[in-house]
Amino acid sequence: MEQASVLLVLSPFTQINTPYPSTAYLKGYLESKGVHAAQADLGIETILALFSERGLGELFDEIERRKGRYPAKVRRMLADRRRYIDTIGAVVAFLQGKNDTLAYRICDRAYLPGSDRGSRDEEELEWAFGAAGLRDRARYLATSYLEGLCDLIRETIDPDFGFSRYAERLGRCASSFDEIEEALQRPSGFIERLTRPLLERHLAESRPKAVAFSVPFPGNLFSALRLARWLRQTRPGLPILMGGGFANTELRSIADTRFFKYIDYLMLDDGEDPLYQLLRYLEGAIPRAELVRTFSLDESGRRVVYQDNPAHPACRQSETGFPDYGGLPLDRYISVLEMANPTHRLWSDGRWNKLTLAHGCYWGKCAFCDGSLDYIKRYEPNKARTVVDRMERLIGQTGEIGFHFVDEAAPPALLREMALEILRRGLTVVWWGNIRFEKSYTRELCELLQRSGCVAVSGGLEVASPRLLKLINKGVTVAQVARVAHHFTAAGIRVHAYLMYGLPTQTAQETIDSLETVRQMFELGLIQSGFWHRFALTAHSPAGARPAAYGCRVTEPPFGGFARNDLRFEALSGCDPELFSEGLRVSLYNYMNGTGFDLPLQRWFGGLKVPRTTLPPNYIEKILLE
């Protein structure tokens, strides 16, 4: 096999139903430049090694070796060891889309070993799936079975474990490197011992001249650093590189030299140019001065230096190349069904080819968003023909016709052109993505998008309050969101709403009125899914740059030299958002399941005294009638 210039590694854990696209984009770009790149998704590979007969056998052995004092549900699972080991292979294959007939065994409720998490209310399952939804009911139960095993791991040997994150708390808001450094010195854990042989195999197969870790989220950082530490010990001299979304937002001010004991180079923003130039430098083709957006240690090893070449233009969208998924186990990803809601399940169910319509956000003005960073502020759309060309090539490479457009916000005009191009070519595709609730989304446009294959959109309703939407410069109104959501749903396109609470100056009354707005939108069928996010003040947002203008004060201690993004703050006025978090979560869960619309809002908040809504019960309906 040809020696690779670089092995691109997706760090555990990101997604288990589809590959995160970062390494595929980088591989496609490098190959277009004549640079051979291999790639590996250690997240899905580790999950598959764990959820296997051998993996579970070793897991149960490890738990029993520790002789801990465990709660009753853990003891029951340990007593059911043999049944778990006997069923795990078939269940994973079922969730991979194989041996569909296993659904009959799973649904008889005697096949899978039980746990507290697996005991679902039969009436709720009957409502969600009915008599005809046998396969989905089985996938829901099989997902609960895997979630029960995740709970077992967290309660016995590794509290940091999760399907889509690992030790996330260490990466989040880690101003100082101290706690991460301390954790890195501990002996390797059970999950890491599963992952190392997988990386070893990829190193043996590709024989790379460098290894590059993609770290999209805080929950990928610690596992990447543990593997980098192991590489330092076993392959001294092999250059170790790192980049990804976490670095782009959190590590832009890094000054702590201890981080560079584990990696050699840290790259920012779009990785195509920094990685290409760095590989050329390592080959001796260019001098160090031509590196692009790259941190490393200086020659003395005592200071972190940042190098950029302003003369080197950013990679244009037309030059990014075609995402290349070669080398990833596309037929082995696991689709889980955590919730019956058909819109909410899009994130974890099915194999989606990830694509972008444009670089950056065409609006880019929201007060809570990282508008000063390149991934938001540099807006550059693709051409519709280029997008559809890539769709056709990806279908040919992956055999999948599903697409998730991961743009910050898909431009309406470009979506129109893309839809027309899809229809002109007679393509059969299924797609969804993020949008802003623009007035441009007329009934006619939504129907066109539906005919081209659009099945769902997600967009920000955020605080659902006229005053607060204006404060955060969202550029939409509640009335506009309601009308646009109506256009989408009337065309047969499902709508997911991003919701926000805890904005500084937000009052209890505004919080309850926002919930009432959401309730009415669900009841009228304008939105089918949603998620409440608690407001976070970030260093690179307009609110982070001018906190006083948004009613808050930064309270965090001086920068500790490592990560800086989420800022600690106190609101100068407004209510305590923590009082409302559970009520908002529970009410939304019920609305997504089609229940609870007739309950007074106060019921969701237990004993907490909350104001009555000031909105009339036909508030949204009147907007639509206008």
Lowest mean pLDDT among 75-84, 123-132, 178-187, 562-571: 123-132
Q: What is the mean pLDDT of the chain?
A: 92
CA distance 204 to 454: 42
- Both tokens of 251, joined, read 């590590």
User: What are the CB-based long-range contacts (under 8 Å, 24+) for 185-190?
Assistant: 188/226, 188/230, 189/157, 189/158, 190/58, 190/59, 190/62, 190/157, 190/158
- 276 in any annotated domain: yes
- 426 in any annotated domain: yes
Confidence of residue 134 (pLDDT cuts 50, 70, 90): confident
- 331 in any annotated domain: no
Distances (CA, A) of 116 to 72, 145, 456: 10, 10, 33
Global pTM value: 0.93
End-to-end CA distance of the chain: 66
Q: Do 488 and 373 reside in the same domain of the chain?
A: yes
Tell me: pLDDT of 480 over 70: yes
Tell me: pLDDT of 18 over 60: yes
- Within 10 angstroms of residue 84's Cβ, the number of other Cβ atoms is 24
Domain C-terminal end among 129, 156, 183: 156
Tell me: pLDDT of 201 over 90: yes
Q: Do 570 and 453 reside in the same domain of the chain?
A: yes
Residue predicted with more confidence, 172 or 565: 565
CA distance 34 to 264: 24
Q: Do 446 and 578 reside in the same domain of the chain?
A: yes
**Quick one: what percent of the chain has pLDDT higher than 70?**
97
Confidence of residue 119 (pLDDT cuts 50, 70, 90): very low
Tell me: pLDDT of 170 over 80: no
Q: What is the pLDDT of residues 278-332, one digit of tens each?
A: 999 999 999 999 999 999 999 999 999 999 988 777 777 777 778 999 999 999 9
Number of domains making up the chain: 3
Domain C-terminal end among 101, 134, 156: 156
In CATH, what number is assigned to the domain containing residue 542?
3.20.20
**pLDDT at residue 125 in the model:** 59
Q: What is the pLDDT of residues 555-612, one digit of tens each?
A: 988 889 999 998 999 999 888 999 999 999 999 999 999 999 999 999 999 888 999 9
**pLDDT at residue 121 in the model:** 59
Lowest mean pLDDT among 127-131, 354-358, 390-394: 127-131
Q: Are 448 and 471 in contact (CB under 8 A)?
A: no
Confidence of residue 169 (pLDDT cuts 50, 70, 90): confident
- 325 in any annotated domain: no
Q: Do 358 and 503 reside in the same domain of the chain?
A: yes
In CATH, what number is assigned to the domain containing residue 232?
3.40.50.2300
Q: What is the pLDDT of residues 93-103, one digit of tens each?
A: 999 999 899 99
Distances (CA, A) of 176 to 179, 180, 181, 567, 568: 7, 8, 9, 13, 14
Assess whether the previous peptide bond of 51 is cis (omega < 30° from 0).
no
Q: Are 394 and 567 in contact (CB under 8 A)?
A: no
- 231 in any annotated domain: yes
- 327 in any annotated domain: no
Tell me: pLDDT of 501 over 70: yes
Lowest mean pLDDT among 38-42, 162-166, 316-320, 598-602: 316-320
Q: Do 40 and 118 reside in the same domain of the chain?
A: no
**pLDDT at residue 173 in the model:** 65
- Both tokens of 459, joined, read 């967009």
Enclosing domain of residue 548:
339-625
- 1 in any annotated domain: no
Q: Do 362 and 280 reside in the same domain of the chain?
A: no
**pLDDT at residue 117 in the model:** 45
- 326 in any annotated domain: no
HSE of 74, CA atoms in CB hemisphere, 13 A: 17
DSSP 8-class letter at 313:
P
Average pLDDT over residues 199-222: 96
Confidence of residue 1 (pLDDT cuts 50, 70, 90): low
Q: Do 37 and 68 reside in the same domain of the chain?
A: no
Domain C-terminal end among 156, 187, 208: 156
Tell me: pLDDT of 116 over 50: no
Q: Do 100 and 145 reside in the same domain of the chain?
A: yes
Residue predicted with more confidence, 55 or 160: 55
| Segments in 464-578 forming alpha helices (H) | 466-471, 478-490, 508-523, 542-545
The alpha carbons of the chain give a radius of gyration, in whole angstroms, of 25
Angle at 433 between CA 432 and CA 435, to 5 degrees: 130
Lowest mean pLDDT among 135-144, 168-177, 395-404, 536-545: 168-177
Q: Do 306 and 232 reside in the same domain of the chain?
A: yes
Q: Do 240 and 105 reside in the same domain of the chain?
A: no
Nearest of 564, 575, 486, 563 to residue 535 by alpha carbon: 575
Tell me: pLDDT of 621 over 90: yes
Q: Do 311 and 235 reside in the same domain of the chain?
A: yes
Q: Do 80 and 221 reside in the same domain of the chain?
A: no
